[in-house]
């Protein structure tokens, strides 16, 4: 009973930490983009560059988390503090270069929080024999997205300026940071031999296979994750309607990780990972072949219902295959994801500026990447494609 209580508290604090870091630090910009277009004159291409700055920061943060000697607790604590500060600065600054800087730092901080939370929670839950509660930890991302999205939708309906919305999100983030304090104050529990993972250290080919598949996942999912609300806004000029696209994605993400933890009783991690990416591919491609608000809502459910499951499965696979230093593999996967999601908006922005390609072209390529990654995951390690 004591182990169960400790696992619930651990999972809940991890849930809060990821809700703040990802729901606010990483993805609050998405529902705020239409508001900033209206009251700050932000252009869609500029929004793509702001998103890319955040993704570049996420890449830098993931690489730093794998190379620096800071403890997961220090990365978690410092990352959450930076998320709160940079979110507030987004509301206090009215220049595009300033926004670029704050979104970059927020990306660095978010990566540190994800790597720190995954390293702390997954190992501790394994040591307690409660690995199934990882679903609750990663449900924090979707819940944070949903709360931030609904809050921004309400503020937009009330004609609250985007600058004030950023400040309110900073206050919400500060409250979350205080609630997550037990996560870095609890002494680290080292997993025993049975809990450390059944695969041991990954071979070189397996290591790079996981890294590259996770990078293709990042490229495949980031375009709809960034531009779904803006796509909806182009179709319906009613924030009460187009504002639902992002909360719908977040709610689907929150529910999906809990369901995935149940499916893992009968599914291999990589098989479930591949299937989730194929469902995501349907969501990415759907608005291209079937333009309309209905397709965008379905796409939000497909992408939102799978991207956090893949994140959770990737982190668990890294924990299982990472041997005595799983944080390095967790950081490598996070860096590959960051690189993939950085390429996505840059590809769209440059293609649109130089060759006048539209978002649909980028979405088709993202779909192909997801299919390639899924196929590779289903090929046994050491087998020839």
The predicted-structure confidence for 125-159, as pLDDT tens digits, reads as follows 888 888 888 889 999 998 998 898 889 888 988 88
Per-residue burial over 46-58, b = 16 or more CB atoms within 10 Å of its CB, e = otherwise? bbbbbbbbbbbbb
Q: Which of 44-58, 61-75, 249-263, 336-350 has the highest mean pLDDT?
A: 61-75
Would you state the structure tokens that stand for residue 147, as one six-digit string? 């709360």
- Look over the chain and give the mean of its residue pLDDT values, rounded to a whole number: 85
Q: Note the pLDDT of residue 193.
A: 42
**Residue 285: CATH number of its domain:** 1.20.1250.20
Could you tell me if residue 130 is inside a domain?
A: yes
Q: pTM to 2 decimals?
A: 0.84
CA atoms of 309 and 112, how far apart (whole Å)? 20
Could you tell me if residue 272 is inside a domain?
A: yes
Could you tell me if residue 278 is inside a domain?
A: yes
In the three-class reduction of DSSP (H, G, I as helix; E, B as strand; rest coil), residue 322 is classed as: strand
Could you tell me if residue 93 is inside a domain?
A: yes
Could you tell me if residue 385 is inside a domain?
A: no
Could you tell me if residue 383 is inside a domain?
A: no
User: What's the total number of domains in the chain?
Assistant: 1
Could you tell me if residue 384 is inside a domain?
A: no
User: Domain range for residue 227?
Assistant: 2-378
CA atoms of 61 and 337, how far apart (whole Å)? 12
pLDDT tier for residue 201 given thresholds of 50, 70 and 90: low
Q: Note the pLDDT of residue 3.
A: 61
Asked if residue 118 lies in contact with residue 313, where contact means CB atoms within 8 angstroms, the answer is no
94 contact partners, CB below 8 Å, separation of at least 6: 40, 163
């Amino acid at each position: 009973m004591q182990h169960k209580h400790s696992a619930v508290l651990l999972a809940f604090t991890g849930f809060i930490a990821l809700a703040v870091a990802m729901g606010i630090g990483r993805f609050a910009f998405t529902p705020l983009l239409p508001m900033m277009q209206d009251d700050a004159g932000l252009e869609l291409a500029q929004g793509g560059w702001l998103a890319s700055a955040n993704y570049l920061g996420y890449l830098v943060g993931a690489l730093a988390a794998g190379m620096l000697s800071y403890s997961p607790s220090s990365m978690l604590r410092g990352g959450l503090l930076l998320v709160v500060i940079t979110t507030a600065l987004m509301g206090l600054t009215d220049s595009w270069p300033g926004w670029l800087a704050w979104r970059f730092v927020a990306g660095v901080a978010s990566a540190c929080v994800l790597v720190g939370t995954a390293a702390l929670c997954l190992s501790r839950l394994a040591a307690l024999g409660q690995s199934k509660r990882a679903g609750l930890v990663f449900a924090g991302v979707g819940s944070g997205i949903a709360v931030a999205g609904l809050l921004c939708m309400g503020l937009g309906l009330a004609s609250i300026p985007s600058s004030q919305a950023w400040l309110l999100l900073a206050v919400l983030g500060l409250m979350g940071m205080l609630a997550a304090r037990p996560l870095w104050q609890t002494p680290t529990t080292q997993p025993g031999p049975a809990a450390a993972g059944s695969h041991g250290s990954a071979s070189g080919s397996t290591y790079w296979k996981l890294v590259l598949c996770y990078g293709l996942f990042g490229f495949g999912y980031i375009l709809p994750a960034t531009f779904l609300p803006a796509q909806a806004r182009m179709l319906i000029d009613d924030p009460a309607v187009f504002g639902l696209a992002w909360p719908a994605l977040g709610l689907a993400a929150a529910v999906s990780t809990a369901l995935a933890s149940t499916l893992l009783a009968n599914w291999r991690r990589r098989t479930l990972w591949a299937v989730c990416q194929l469902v995501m591919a349907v969501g990415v491609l759907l608005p291209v072949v079937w333009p309309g608000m209905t397709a965008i809502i379905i796409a939000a459910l497909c992408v939102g219902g799978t991207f956090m499951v893949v994140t959770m499965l990737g982190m668990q696979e890294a924990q299982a295959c990472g041997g005595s230093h799983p944080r390095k593999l967790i950081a490598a996967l996070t860096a590959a994801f960051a690189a993939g999601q950085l390429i996505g908006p840059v590809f769209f922005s440059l293609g649109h500026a130089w060759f006048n390609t539209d978002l649909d072209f980028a979405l088709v390529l993202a779909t192909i990447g997801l299919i390639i990654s899924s196929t590779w995951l289903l090929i046994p390690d050491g087998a020839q494609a």
